[in-house]
Amino acid sequence: MTDIVLMDEAWKDVEPGTEALLDAWQVGAGDAVKQGQTLAVAVLIKTSFDIVAPVDGVIDQILVAKEDTFKRGQALARLKASG
């Protein structure tokens, strides 16, 4: 199982304790996805970031709901890799 997180680069120069907003999910639990596909959009300090699939697979579980906030390194969803 692979945890889906907002890339570390997005958090560069961000104050510790700052949270991001999960703006929208482009997929749901049970959806098959391809590596590089946009899974969700997050907003961190007025900047939008696409959250993409690191590998091909199926979304096993959504852990952070749309319009909820999350911390650096927090898993947003779990992906079951194909193969």
Give residue-wise pLDDT tens across range 13-48.
Answer: 999 999 999 999 999 999 999 999 999 999 999 899
Indicate the DSSP class of residue 15: P
- What residues contact 32, with CB distance under 8 A and at least 6 apart? 56, 57, 58, 82
- The domains found in the chain, sorted by start residue, are 2-81 (2.40.50.100)
Across the range 61-66, mean pLDDT stands at 97
| Interatomic CA distance for residues 11 and 19, integer angstroms | 10
Across 48-72, average pLDDT: 96
Q: Is the pLDDT of residue 53 over 90?
A: yes
Looking at the chain, how many residues does it have? 83
Q: What is the pLDDT of residue 34?
A: 97
Give residue 83's pLDDT: 67
Residues 44 and 46: their CA atoms lie apart, in Å, by 6
